[in-house]
Structure 1
Amino acid sequence: MPLTDVQIRQAKPGDKPRKLSDSRGLYVEVRPTGGKFWRYRYKLDGKENVFALGEYPELSLADARAERDKARVLVKEGRHPAHVRQTERAKQLAENGNTFRQVALEWIASKEGVSDGYRAQLTRAFTRNLFPYIGRVPVRDVTAAMLLECLQRMERRGARYYAISMINWVSQMYRFAVRTLRADADPAAALYGAFVRPPVEHSTAMSAEEIGRFRAELSGYGGFRANVIALELLQLLFVRTVELRRGRWEHVDLDAAIWDIPPELMKKRRRHLVPLPARAVELLRELRAITGAGELMFPGLRHPGKPIDGSTLNRALERLGFKGFSCHDFRATASTHLYDSGLFRGEVIEMQLAHAEDNKTKAAYNHAQYLDERVGLMQWWQDYCIEAERKYRAG
């Protein structure tokens, strides 16, 4: 007769282990210590075997019968339940080792043809936005819902662009995981389109009057002097903000009035020469007295070994009353007025903007091309900005 829960609960231990039979090979072994353990007795290949199911009352009577039924199915298939359980445990341990964090770091390390900076960017993105929440989860168990929750955190702090990039990176990572047999599918694929990219805001060129106003306001700005110099240099040299921020003194020759930026510090990974007009040389000599003891032209105040943060100069620009502009707009401003002057050939302007590559291979790129014309261009642009300031002050 099948057991009842009351019978099992009231069963008293004896001097020796004893069995309380249920049905279909299921029984409870009552030990002298008082412990009660579920066992399933079965035959396979003519031999009797016993499979341990668990301990009562952690495993209830109903659950023990359900586990017994699962084991009976395996026996009918000619499989030992204990062997199947060992295989599943080994598989689970392997899955636990293949965490989201481990696989992500392997994917980042495996990427070929990318710079160390890009690899570091990926590592920071995953470490900040995903690892604290799903880093320890087996990569096969991560769901689209888990990823979405992480990405929504990013969106709430205003990093929607970054969240969109994150979807693409995670999708690449999962394709790597599938290829290395650690995942079956890409949960990030379901999230494409979950975040709408805001409309692109194109660069805005300052008018001549705004150029003059900017210079007038900058001369009276009470912020950190190195930041003031950085803003004026961005206007005069119209390099990309990141190129200015990462500038190093070893690449600047003030006597020759040239800034020779190496490929690893340029967006397009090509050496770029920046002729320095007189005012830029004057500013850089002043800056050297402030930061020249270090390697960086614009070190951060809190972390001198790293460049100033990318938002620092844009915030200073806003405080000057140019909220609608960004530092990148200095490039559009210079380009617009240089073209409008009609004095310089387009290829010379584009070369100085570090754009030139149309219909040319990188192997044929000559960083010193049109250098004499570019020297004249940079001096003309300095004079144009200074004259705009004079006219603005004159009213």
Structure 2
Amino acid sequence: MALTDAKLRKLANKKDDPITLSHRDGLRVKRNKNGSVLWQYRCRYLCKPVIMSLGYYPEVSLKDAQDLIPHLKHWLSIGEDPRKAYKAYSKGAADDPTASELAQKWLNNTLHTYKPKTQEVYSHHMGKWVLPYLKDKPACEMTAADWHKYFDYIRENGTAKTASVILVRVKTVLHWAAMRGELPNNNPIFNLQTKHVGESATQGQRWLPFNELALLWRKIEQARAAPANKACLQLVFLTGARQSEIRELKWEHIDEENKIWTVPPENSKTNKPIRRPITKKMQEILDSLALVYGKKGYICPGSSPRKAITTHAVNRFCARIWGYLHEEHKTAKFVPHDARRSISTLLSELDIPPYVTEKMLGHARRGVMAVYNKHDYIKAQAEGYELYWKKINEAIANLKS
């Protein structure tokens, strides 16, 4: 049965099992797993079966696809390869875009949909590694050898991990372009994996036991640093919150009456608010910060009261503290993010349920529970945090001077 616009609209953007539907005159559509609907043409060239892509619906409409049939039949009748002839015909008014041009178009069209920090990262990656280097050859003509040569350059002038990150970025751009019908979806880059061009980011394994947390806490207290620096790192290790959630914490996010602090959606990795209890130790730290900086704006301000302390400042301070502990106690390397692994591991050993520790970490639930259970377990979180500080405090008391 011939296809109609109504049938095509129902097919488009539905992520389901792949399906192929025939139209007429060798024309058909294939819906992929990602919901894209690709026009295809079946024929025989040099006595061999050929299935060629004509573009994606709705960029290539039903009428556009049908109008191509006479051209395709003509090319076959005169012995031309319909794939090459269609490619030349498609160029028509404009040349095929380069990956650099597609990346710039992707930035212009989609960058605003991401959070400010993500926008900054993506702009940096594109500006440094993509836009300057992928502008000499159309993306559709890039071969596997071309891509490997490009990623070899990144690996040599950056790092193997950088090459893997840029692979993900470029594939995102080209998949976006393919979905819009601006690029065939058979580009060789789509078959590349991070292991082919560089190294995947290593998954962290480090977590600090209570005796190391005690050493860390004591060294922070002894350090000569701004109160905001010391308190920020303490709150990171005390709560297991993401560093950005602590750095961007404002007094307006604190409900002092109910002893709850809320991470607003714009500061949350999950784009949803995260509610945590304010424990006695956290309140003690907040009171000390209020005495120094006042109860307005950022709780841990940076060089200016109107700006949050920077990631660089927190990481640098943490590295300095680790340097002291490594020199004195041979403590293994740790970073602020290891606080999250520490609190989850240690509280699990103390029989705090996973659904509580996941809430403490600000992780989003999955599956049916995410749909129906909106409870924050504030009371259970508070009990977990109090137990955690109690164990750290006991370890501090047991330290040898």
TM class by smaller structure:
0.5 to 0.7
Structure 1 residue 92, shift from structure 2 partner: 9.5
Task: After TM superposition, give the deviation of residue 233 of structure 1 in Å.
Answer: 0.8
CA deviations 1:18-57 (Å, max 9, x no partner) are xxxxxxxxxxxxxxxxxxxxxxxxxxxxxxxxxxxxxxxx
Cα distance change, pair 181–378 in 1 and its aligned pair in 2 (3 A) = closer
Q: Any idea what SS the aligned residue of 1:259 has? A: strand
Identity %: 19
The normalised TM-score by structure 1 is 0.63
CA shift, 1:232, in A, is 0.9
Aligned to 1:340: 349
Q: Which segment drifts farther, 144-153 or 171-180?
A: 144-153
Check 1:196–1:148 CA distance in 2 against 1; reply closer, same or farther (3 A cut): closer
Q: Does 1:331 align with 2:340?
A: yes
Q: Please state whether the residue corresponding to 1:203 is helix, strand or coil.
A: coil
Partner deviation per Cα, 1:326-369 (whole Å, 9 max, x = no partner): 22222222223323334x4443333223346255343324253x
Matched with 2:44 is none
| Residue 389 (structure 1) aligned with residue 396 (structure 2) | yes
Q: Provide the aligned length of Structure 1 versus Structure 2.
A: 304
SS in 2 for 1:260: strand
Q: Are 2:220 and 1:212 aligned?
A: no
Quickly say closer, same or farther: Cα 1:222–1:136, change in 2 above 3 A. Answer: farther
Is 1:380 the counterpart of 2:381? The answer is: no
In 2 relative to 1, CA 176–347 (structure 1 residues): closer, same or farther, beyond 3 Å? closer
Contact 2:260–2:277, Cα closer than 8 Å, also in 1: yes
What is residue 269 of structure 2 aligned with on the other side?
A: 267
Q: 1:294 to 1:187 in 2, by over 3 A?
A: farther
Relative to structure 1, the CA distance from residue 307 to residue 186 in structure 2 (aligned partners, 3 Å threshold; closer, same or farther) is farther
Given that 1:262 and 1:272 are in contact with CA atoms closer than 8 Å, whether structure 2 keeps it comes out as yes
Which runs of 5 or more residues in structure 1 are unaligned? 1-76, 78-87
Give CA deviations for 1:179-232 in whole Å, capped at 9, x if unaligned.
Answer: 555445535346433334357343333222212211121111223432211111
Whole-angstrom distance in 1 between the partners of 2:395 and 2:128? 45
Question: Does the C-alpha gap of structure 1 residues 199 and 131 become closer, same or farther in structure 2, counting only changes over 3 Å?
Answer: closer
Instruction: Report the 3-state secondary structure (helix = DSSP H, G, I; strand = E; otherwise coil) of the residue aligned with 2:287.
Output: helix
Matched, 1:223 2:229: no
Aligned pair in 2 of structure 1 residues 141, 350: CA closer, same or farther (>3 Å)? Answer: closer
The higher radius of gyration belongs to: 1
Q: Which SS does the other structure have where 2:229 is aligned? A: helix
Looking at structure 1, the residues matched to 287 and 281 of structure 2 have their Cα atoms a distance apart, in angstroms, of 10
Distance 1:153 1:223 in 2: 41
Any gaps of 5 or more consecutive residues in structure 2?
Answer: 1-77, 79-87, 326-330
For residue 140 of structure 1, report the CA deviation from its aligned partner. 4.9
Matches for 1:270-309 after TM superposition, within 5 Å: 270-288=272-290, 295-301=297-303, 305=307, 308-309=310-311
Deviation at 1:377, TM superposition (A): 2.3
User: How many Å apart are 1:251 and its aligned residue?
Assistant: 0.9
1:222 aligned counterpart, secondary structure: coil
Q: Residues 103 and 131 of structure 2 are in contact (CA less than 8 Å); yes or no, is this contact kept in structure 1?
A: no
Helix, strand or coil: the match of 2:196?
coil
TM-score normalised by L of structure 2: 0.62
- The answer for the alignment partner of 2:322 in structure 1 is 318
Q: State the match for 2:103 in structure 1.
A: 104
Specify the SS of the correspondent of 1:125.
Answer: helix
One-letter amino acid of the structure 2 residue matched with residue 171 of structure 1? K
Who is 2:370 aligned against? 362
Aligned residues: CA RMSD: 3.8
8 Å CA contact 2:231–2:300 kept in 1: the answer is no
Specify the alignment match of 1:3 in structure 2.
none
1:143·1:187 contact (CA, 8 Å) conserved in 2? Answer: yes
Partner of 1:248: 250
CA distance in 2, matches of 1:301, 1:110: 35
Aligned residue number for residue 51 of structure 2: none
Q: Distance in 2 between matches of 1:208 and 1:293?
A: 32
Partner of 2:399: helix, strand, or coil?
helix
After superposition, the Cα gap between the structure-2 partners of 1:133 and 1:261, relative to the gap in structure 1 and judged at 3 Å, is same
1:131-142 matches, within 5 Å, as 131-135=131-135, 139-140=139-140
